[in-house]
Structure 1
Amino acid sequence: MYSPPPDPADQQRMRRAYARSARLLDVSVTGPEVWGWHGRTLSSRVEHPNRGGCWLRLISAPHARATGKVWEGNRKAAALFDGRVRKPLLYDTVESTGDGYTYQAELHQYVDEPTCSLSPVLRTRLDLPVSWWDSLRADLEYVSRTATDRVAVRQEWVDRSVPRFLGVPGPRITDWATAHGDLHPANLTTSPYLLDWEGFGLAPVGYDAAMFLAYCLLVPEVAQRVRDTFPILGTAPGRVAQIIVVTELLQSASRGDHPEILPALQDLIVDLT
């Protein structure tokens, strides 16, 4: 869970759009508001007259930027993965405009169980059964085999960013697979459901496992369980995936996101390079 946007005008703009979207989808808001990263999304539990409890998520962007991978991600993920992996179903979407912005509201299945962490960075031990890890591995394997033209990681970004943040040449990605694209403890529930599919697409083989590992480094026993569950991390492609993920998180930390994992990322880079 993130904080509301710092500008009160943006908060009110999003709340107006959210109320408008709720009317368009014939739902009533029944839960507290939940803000996404940098206030870009606003969500809450809602009640639908036929479906009962649902989750309504609103994403906004200036008119000229209301397109592309993130904008269409959850809709395309629903077409490929709903009913095939453990993810919330997408029931409906609706778009609206106002205040120079375009808004997309997504009505999802409500998952009545906690996430593994309130923050992407895991800080406490996860006591999860073997079946949880088996389910996650099976779902990610299904995702990896699913064809898509979406791209989550680009070689051009790797070539530019790895030297900047790690001081070594960017590795060449030779093995590609479809990835969820944002696999961390706050996007996994205790079942596990996999949440927030807007960034899915082609990435280095092992990318999801590498991302999950990086966000679990502060809890060594969980990090080890990730390594045990995903042996790809011990291979050459897995090393490439980890280098790329660490670079992404170092870039995010340079913008103020999750600086607490910087020492653990630096230790991991020593091992990888």
Structure 2
Amino acid sequence: MRRAFVRSAESLGTTVAGPEAWGWHGRTLSSRVEHVGRGACWLRLLSAPQDKAAGKLWEGSRQAAALFDGHIRKPLLYDTMEFTQDSHAYQAELHQYIGEPVVSPSPVLRTALDPPTAWWDSLRSDLEHVNSVATGRVAVRQEWVDRSVPRFLDMPAPRITEWATAHGDLHTANLTDATPYLLDWEGFGLAPVGYDAAMLLAYSLLVPTFANQVRDTFPVLKTEPGRIAQIIVITELLQSASRGDHPELVAALRHLAADLS
């Protein structure tokens, strides 16, 4: 990954100017770089085995840029390149550099905070725009819901009847603390109405004051579609926890599921 990152930086006319930032399970490597014409930028390198370098996650950043750049608060995508090396495929993405820090270093929020009303208004406005944009990409499938909800929650799978385009991975590690900018768009696509709000809520359950602000900002969570979205998100995070990710959330997720059942 490091060799491929250096190759990407040079090919895109940049020099590395910041510390490494590794993504989930080492699948991505990013850093601040300096571009000869644009100045500070963010270079993100995505890797996959050569025979799996396709599909939703591989194409997500470029497709999100085509739909959303300039319309909502997200980093602009300036350039991309792809190459193969050592039986792996790599995709390098040169993004606008956002100087403000993310709200939380981890998807799971652990520290109390109280963003201003303008922060919440901006987030709600951007997500409303995202919801309104048509896409053929799918972030959540009914077939997965039918299999997974009974397995992880021991309840019948809900039927999704209302769909909307969603960011697909909304949590405080993908939101900056001042504007906010929405980061990491590779997983966007059609999902149950209220999905992004449900995801932000689920990852915030360890900080009840922030979780309540999520509920106040997104009234959809109090509706039947919002209840369904929460059940689906809880199932996703319980499945993830069964593989070792964020086990500290499990008790809170099960408590919320009991309230929703």
Fold shared, TM-score > 0.5 on shorter chain: yes
Matched with 1:250 is: 238
Matched, 1:156 2:143: yes
Q: 1:83-133: CA deviations, max 9, x gaps?
A: 000000000000011100000000000000110100000001122110000
User: Which runs of no fewer than 5 residues in structure 1 stay unpaired?
Assistant: 1-13
For 2:209 and 2:29, the matched residues in 1 are separated by: 34
Separation in 2 of the partners of 1:23 and 1:50?
14
CA distances 1:43-71 after superposition (whole Å, capped 9, x unpaired): 00000010000000000001110000000
Matches within 5 A, 1:74-89: 74-89=61-76
Q: Secondary structure at the match of 1:181?
A: coil
Aligned twin of 1:43: 30
Q: 1:203 aligns with which of 191, 194, 197?
A: 191
Structure 2: unaligned runs, 5 residues or longer: none
Correspondences of 1:234-273 after superposition (within 5 Å): 234-273=222-261
Work out the CA distance in 2 between the residues paired with 1:149 and 1:171: 22
Alignment partner, residue 56 of structure 2? 69
Aligned with residue 171 of structure 2, among 160, 184, 187? 184
Cα distance, 1:169 vs structure 2: 1.2
Equivalent-residue separation in structure 1 for 2:7 and 2:97 (angstroms): 20
Q: Which residue of 2 aligns with 1:231?
A: 219
Is 1:102 the counterpart of 2:89? The answer is yes
Aligned-residue offset at 1:176 = 0.1
2:39 matched residue in structure 1: 52
In 2, Cα distance between equivalents of 1:173 and 1:24: 45
Aligned-residue CA RMSD (Å): 0.4
TM-score when scaled to structure 2? 0.99
* 1:116 maps to 2:103: yes
SS of the aligned residue for 1:19 comes to helix
How many angstroms apart in 1 are the aligned matches of 2:234 and 2:226?
12
In structure 2, C-alpha distance between the alignment counterparts of 1:158 and 1:177, rounded to whole Å: 16
Q: Identity over aligned residues, as a percent?
A: 73
Q: So what's the TM-score if we normalise by structure 1?
A: 0.95
In structure 1, how many angstroms separate the alpha carbons of the residues matched to 2:101 and 2:50? Answer: 34
Letter of the aligned partner of 2:190 in structure 1? L
Q: Which residue of 1 aligns with 2:124?
A: 137
